Structures are given as structure tokens and as C-alpha cells.
Chain A
Amino acid sequence: MAIKEQTIRNNESARGKLIAVRVVAYTFLILVTLLALFPLILLILNSTHSNSSLQAGFDPIPGGHFLINFKTAWNDTALFTLPRSMLNSFIIAASSCILTSYFSAMTAYGIHVYDFKLKKFAFNFIMVIMTIPTQVAAVGFVQLVGKFHMTNTYWPLILPAIAAPSVFFYMKQYIESSLPMEVIEAARVDGSGEFMTFNTIALPMLKPAIAVQMIFAFVSSWNNFFTPALVLSKSEMWTLPIVNATLRQKIQSQNCDIGEVYMMILLSIIPVVIVYIALSKHIVKGVALGAVKG
């Protein structure tokens, strides 16, 4: 009887402890969540205030200057034109995300489905080049772009997207787990050509992987600063990261409208934030799948 009472009391104290640990854990998680959100919240908040209100002091209540800041930022042509930069960024990111996902899937399919002499070599080669940072080839890249007369064009930022080793690796993993050879053989029996089979049968089956990689490719191209800064010198060709680096000089100047600058930063990141909120489920899952690498 006494023993039973003892265990009940133990259980009760264990439960009490568990609740306490839970409270601590949730508090910690909420604090970290706020930490992750606070830059974006401050940015949105500040973009609603006028320059004079921002100069006067921090105001945690949203102001009514959002649309005016938007108009100023949108129509400012002093150093660059924001809508044009957004368009540049969009063209480059959209094109490269399509090329990256399509051709990575195609390369992975080629290596998975067919048997050929250099198959193993091709695979190992891509694995080796996967970790080479693109920056170390920058000297040669800049000169090549000059020789091809591609300086200040979109091409040197779009075309290289066809060869993306890490996306290839992801696609290869996905194909191995979800594209049975029987499907391809059945298509051949039905008289489907090899390209037809890839485009109409394999690609639809790879949709989840392609969707994830398209998002990642779009975002990384949209955010890329190093390479565009090397090949785009004309301000009408600038992408948003170059614009943001230029803002650093802009705010140093006299009578700079800070509300406008906050708005420009917000407009640079908001498309990605919206896409992320809409598709976050797939993205977080995709990151975990990427852990496969490790």
C-alpha cells in the first residue's frame, strides 16, 4: 500500500516536472520565433513611417506613410529605377530556375536510365565539382563574359544555371527512389521516343522534386550578389542585391529619405517571403531531404 502511494506520488512529481519542462521549452521556442521574425517586423513597421517620423524616434505603432513611401521608392530614378531592377531580378531568377530544374532532371535521368561507358565517370565528376565555390573561377568567368560580349546582358547569369551539380544530385536521389524502370520500358513498348518518355512520363513523376528545386533555384538566383555585381555595371541592368549595396551609399548622403530606403529593402525581399509563406510546407520538407547529402 505504502509502495503504491510512493509510486503515485513519484508519478505526480514527474508529471509536474514534465509540465514545467514543457513550459520552458515552449517559452524558448516562442522567443526564438520572435527573434527570427523581428528583423522583418521592424522592416515592415519602419516602411510605414515618414522620414521625419523615423528621424524623430522609433515608433512601434505602424504609421500611415506606407503608400507614399512605396510611390517614392517606385518612382525614384536617381541612382537606379527599382521597378527595372525588380524586373531584371525576376527575368534572371525565373529563367535560371526553369533551366536548372529541367536540365538537372534531364542529366540525372540520363545517368540513371541509360547504360554507357562514361556513366560512372560522369557521375563521379559531378560529385567532385559539387563543392567547388563558383567564386574561384571568377577571374576566368569575367574574361570569358567579356570575350563573348555578354557584359551587361542577362545571359552570363542565366545560361550557367543549366549545370547545377547539387540540384543534379538531389534529382538523382529522387529518381532512384521514385522512378521505376518498368514505367520507362512500358513507354518504349508503346513506341514512345526517348525524349517523349522523359518529357511526358518521367517529368510529371518528378514534379515534387522539381517544384522544390525550382523554389530554391529561384531564391538563390534572386539573392545572388557576387556574380551579377561582376558582370552588370550599367545601372539599368542591376539586380536587387546590387541595388541594396548601393543603398548603403545612398543613406550616407544628405537629406536621404530613410522611409523610402526601408521600403526599397522591403520590396527586395517581399516576393520571396510571399512565395515562402505560400509554399513553406514543401520547402521545409525539401531542406530535410537535402540532409540526405549528409
Chain B
Amino acid sequence: MKKHKLVSYAKWGYIFIAPFFIVYIIFQLIPLLSTFYYSFFENYRSGLNVIGPNYVGFDNYVTLFTPDKNGSIDIFTYFVNTIIMWLMGAVPQMVFSLLLAVIFTSERLRIKGQSFFKTVMYMPNLIMAAAFAMLFFMLFSKVGPFNQFIMSSGGEPFDFFANKWTTRGIIAMINFLMWFGNTTILLMAGIMGIDQSLFEAASIDGATSWQVFYKITIPLLKPIMVYVAITSLIGGLQMFDVPQVIGTYLGSPNRSTMTMIMYLNNYLGTSKNYGMAGALSVVIFIITGVLSVIVYKTMASDSGKKPKKAKKGA
């Protein structure tokens, strides 16, 4: 009887999942595979002529990692740019969010108006990154409000976007503003997943707030923090909108804000160098893939150690 039931409904399973898979195969999988395929071809636009596609083996990969005449390797430079800007935003974000999450979840503080605070703090995450970047470009421009303020207090105007560290700092600040609310909510969910009796036991034993924080909250929150950090890194490697608007496709000043995806975009856009773009995509794919495996591993070990908590979270 039961078996009959399984057989008669099985085809509906396929029908229900068909649209997803058909669209995925056409618009994602085939493009992904053809990107890999193109990475082995020479194919670009030179003036009005299209060169290739000619099979060149691993030449594009070799070119990608060959130093230019100044001895620097572009892909490394842009990778380092991306990581620096990510770190400048992500490290303060982690500290801030952790502090906020602890404040919000504190049994002793019992913060009122939580939903108001969380609502406001999460809002920047939904604001268009390109618009955010454009706004900050205007606020920090030579004639923008910040420089007007500096001048009115007797200082010299400072060109924030001529200096690589202030430009990177502004990009990192936008990322920070956009993401700290999201991280706070994730960390709060993590803290609330911790067995409350541990906190009660600690307070009965007379532990101070700092002891509770260092000896209970932080160690038990570590898996979630690792998860948040790595997913943030995966997102960071895809950084594009903000630096593209602020530094333009040149990564101004002096290519110091050029990220990996901006590099890819340049190959796709102006030069239409599909071979090099393909090879670069494969490199990005591999880096992301390795990081994702680490995420899965930490998730798996986390739920293995504390199955109860994982269930609670679900």
C-alpha cells in the first residue's frame, strides 16, 4: 500500500522541482561551465577586431600570475586590496556587533526598545550600495560637507579620495555601516542559543559580567563567530559596488581600491577579454570554494558537538 503511494506521486516531485533546475542549468550552470571552458582560449577584442577563440591551454592562467614590468602581479595586488578593505571593515564590525549583541541579550541590563534599536541598525543593509557609495563620495569630496566643516574650523581642505588609505577607509566604513546590524542579529541568535542555565549557574557562583563574557559567552560563541567571519570573507571577496563607484573602474587612487571582482569586470567590459576573465573567474571560484568548505566543516562540527543548540536554532 505504502509503496504504491510512493510510486504514484514520484513524478510530481520531478515536476515541482523542474522549473528550478531548468532555469539553473540554462542561466547558471551552462554559463559557469562555459566560463571554465573559455579560460583555456585566447579570445578578446583588439580595436574593432575580435581575436580568437583559439585554444591556448593554461596560457591565460600563466599570464594572470606573471609579474608585469614593475615586478608586481596584478591579481595579487587586487587580492591584497580586497582583503585589506575587508579587514578594515570587518574587524571593527565584529567587535562592535559582539558588544551590541551582549548588551541586547544581557539578562541584567534588560534593554528596552530593542526592536527599535535593531530596526534602525539593520536599515543600512538594505540601502543600495551604489547609492551609499555615491553619497559618501559627495560627503567627503573636496567641496563636500566634511571639508566645509574642516575649512570653517580653520583647517586646510583635504582631498580624501587622493589618498589611498582614506579612500580605503571610507569604503571600509560604508561596508561597516551596511553590515554591522546584520552581524549583530546573527551573533544575538548565537548567544540566545547558549544554554541559559550556564549563565544562571555562573551568577550563583558570583561570576562578574566580564568573567561570564570571557569564560562562557566567547568560547561557546566561537563556532558562530567563525561562521560569521568566513561568510563575511566570502562576501568581502565579492566586494564590487562600493569601490567601483568610489574608485571608478580604475580603482583610484593608483589602483589601490581595485578589487578582484572589479578586475573581472574590467576584463568583461572594456577589453571583452573572455579568456582572461574566464581564468580569473576560475581562481575566484576556487578561493570561494575552499572557504565554503571551511564553513560547512565548522557548521558540521558545531552541530555535532551541540546537537541541541543546532536544533534550537532551526
Q: In the complex the two chains form, what is the Cα distance from A40 to B120 in whole Å?
A: 11
Contact at A163–B21, with CB atoms within 8 Å?
yes
Q: In the complex the two chains form, what is the Cα distance from A58 to B138 in whole Å?
A: 12
Q: Which residues of A contact B127 (CB under 8 A)?
A: 39-40, 223, 269, 272-273
Contact at A138–B264, with CB atoms within 8 Å?
yes
Q: Which residues of A contact B238 (CB under 8 A)?
A: 133, 135
Interface stretch, picked from B29-37, B62-70, B71-79, B211-219, is B29-37
B118 to chain A, nearest CB (A): 5
Residue of B nearest to A115 (CB): B6
Q: In the complex the two chains form, what is the Cα distance from A141 to B148 in whole Å?
A: 45
Interface stretch, picked from A64-72, A80-88, A206-214, A282-290, is A282-290
- B51 within 8 A of partner (CB): no
Indicate whether A28 sits within 8 Å of B103 (C-beta atoms), given known contacts A39-B135, A110-B13, A294-B228.
yes
Contact at B27–A159, with CB atoms within 8 Å?
yes
Q: Which residues of B contact A183 (CB under 8 A)?
A: none
Indicate whether A284 sits within 8 Å of B138 (C-beta atoms), given known contacts A122-B21, A135-B264.
no
Contact at B35–A138, with CB atoms within 8 Å?
yes
* Chain B 1-35: CB-based contact to A (< 8 A → 1; otherwise 0): 00000100111111111011101101110111111
Q: In the complex the two chains form, what is the Cα distance from A177 to B35 in whole Å?
A: 39
Contact at B268–A117, with CB atoms within 8 Å?
no
B202 to chain A, nearest CB (A): 16
Q: In the complex the two chains form, what is the Cα distance from A56 to B292 in whole Å?
A: 51
Interface residues of A in 96-148 (CB under 8 A from B): 103-104, 106-107, 109-111, 113-119, 122, 126, 129, 131-144
**Of the residues A225, A276, A288, contact of B241 by C-beta under 8 Å:** A225
Indicate whether A245 sits within 8 Å of B314 (C-beta atoms), given known contacts A116-B10, A163-B28.
no
* Chain A 46-86: CB-based contact to B (< 8 A → 1; otherwise 0): 10000000010110000000000000000000000000000
**Of the residues A57, A177, A229, contact of B152 by C-beta under 8 Å:** A57
Q: Which residues of A contact B231 (CB under 8 A)?
A: 294
* Chain B 114-142: CB-based contact to A (< 8 A → 1; otherwise 0): 01011111111011111111111111010
Q: Which residues of A contact B177 (CB under 8 A)?
A: 35-36, 39
* Chain B 243-281: CB-based contact to A (< 8 A → 1; otherwise 0): 011101000000000000100110011000010011001
Contact at B190–A110, with CB atoms within 8 Å?
no
Q: Interface size bucket, B side?
A: 35 or more
Q: In the complex the two chains form, what is the Cα distance from A156 to B27 in whole Å?
A: 8
**Of the residues B27, B119, B261, contact of A144 by C-beta under 8 Å:** B27
Contact at B28–A160, with CB atoms within 8 Å?
yes
Contact at A36–B121, with CB atoms within 8 Å?
yes
Indicate whether A21 sits within 8 Å of B109 (C-beta atoms), given known contacts A110-B13, A115-B13.
yes
* Chain B 24-66: CB-based contact to A (< 8 A → 1; otherwise 0): 1011101111110010000000000000000000000000000
A3 to chain B, nearest CB (A): 17
Residue of A nearest to B181 (CB): A36
Contact at B131–A136, with CB atoms within 8 Å?
no
B295 to chain A, nearest CB (A): 7
- B306 within 8 A of partner (CB): no
- A37 within 8 A of partner (CB): yes
Interface residues of B in 121-171 (CB under 8 A from A): 121-124, 126-139, 141, 143, 145, 148-149, 152
**Of the residues B38, B138, B188, B295, contact of A131 by C-beta under 8 Å:** B295
Q: Which residues of A contact B95 (CB under 8 A)?
A: none
Q: Which residues of A contact B15 (CB under 8 A)?
A: 110, 194
Indicate whether A115 sits within 8 Å of B277 (C-beta atoms), given known contacts A57-B148, A140-B34, A162-B20.
no
A194 to chain B, nearest CB (A): 5
**Of the residues A36, A57, A129, A141, contact of B24 by C-beta under 8 Å:** A129
Indicate whether A136 sits within 8 Å of B32 (C-beta atoms), given known contacts A225-B130, A291-B189.
yes
* Chain A 245-258: CB-based contact to B (< 8 A → 1; otherwise 0): 10110010000001
Q: Which residues of A contact B241 (CB under 8 A)?
A: 223, 225-226, 241
Indicate whether A139 sits within 8 Å of B35 (C-beta atoms), given known contacts A32-B100, A163-B27, A225-B240.
yes
Shortest Cβ-Cβ A-B pairs, 4 listed:
A110-B16, A140-B31, A114-B13, A140-B34
Residues of A within 8 A of B (CB): 18, 21-22, 25-26, 28-29, 32-33, 35-37, 39-40, 42-43, 46, 55, 57-58, 103-104, 106-107, 109-111, 113-119, 122, 126, 129, 131-144, 156, 159-160, 162-163, 168, 173, 177, 194, 198, 219, 222-223, 225-226, 229-230, 240-242, 244-245, 247-248, 251, 258, 261-262, 265, 268-269, 272-273, 276, 280-281, 283-284, 287-288, 290-292, 294
Residues of B within 8 A of A (CB): 6, 9-17, 19-21, 23-24, 26-28, 30-35, 38, 96, 99-100, 103, 106, 108-109, 111, 115, 117-124, 126-139, 141, 143, 145, 148-149, 152, 177, 181-182, 185-186, 188-190, 209, 224, 227-228, 231, 234, 237-238, 240-241, 244-246, 248, 261, 264-265, 268-269, 274, 277-278, 281-282, 284-285, 288-289, 292, 295, 299, 313-314
A-B contact pairs, 17 of them (CB 8 A): A18-B108, A107-B17, A113-B12, A116-B13, A135-B264, A136-B281, A139-B31, A140-B34, A143-B31, A159-B23, A198-B16, A223-B127, A245-B244, A269-B132, A280-B119, A284-B118, A287-B186
